[in-house]
């Protein structure tokens, strides 16, 4: 697996807190941050999929209702 390097600045308090949590998790700071980013990305993807699913479901419902309205045109069903 290839790796990439990120460099960013955070407040000292966040850096210290992150080091403490990484240590408590028995991970390096890099591993801890990598896992946190992975979890955040998975959560964002899940939220996006839920949003799109609801949107698609809403469209499908509207189309279904429109088709139902068209079948109630007064003609006898067989």
Residue-range domain boundaries for the chain: 12-71
pLDDT (tens digit, 0 to 9) for every residue of the chain, 78 residues total? 788 999 999 999 999 999 999 999 999 999 999 999 999 999 999 999 999 998 888 878 877 777 776 666 656 555
Q: Cα separation of 11 and 42, whole Å?
A: 25
* Integer Cα distance of 39 and 32 in angstroms: 11
- Please give the DSSP secondary-structure letter assigned to residue 75: P
């Amino acid at each position: 697996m290839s790796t990439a390097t990120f460099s960013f600045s955070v407040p000292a308090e966040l850096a210290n807190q992150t080091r403490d949590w990484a240590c408590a998790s028995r991970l390096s700071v890099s591993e801890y941050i990598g896992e946190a980013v992975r979890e955040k990305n998975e959560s964002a993807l899940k939220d996006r999929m839920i949003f799109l699913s609801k949107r698609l479901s809403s469209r499908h419902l509207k189309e279904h209702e429109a088709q139902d309205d068209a079948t109630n045109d007064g003609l006898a069903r067989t």
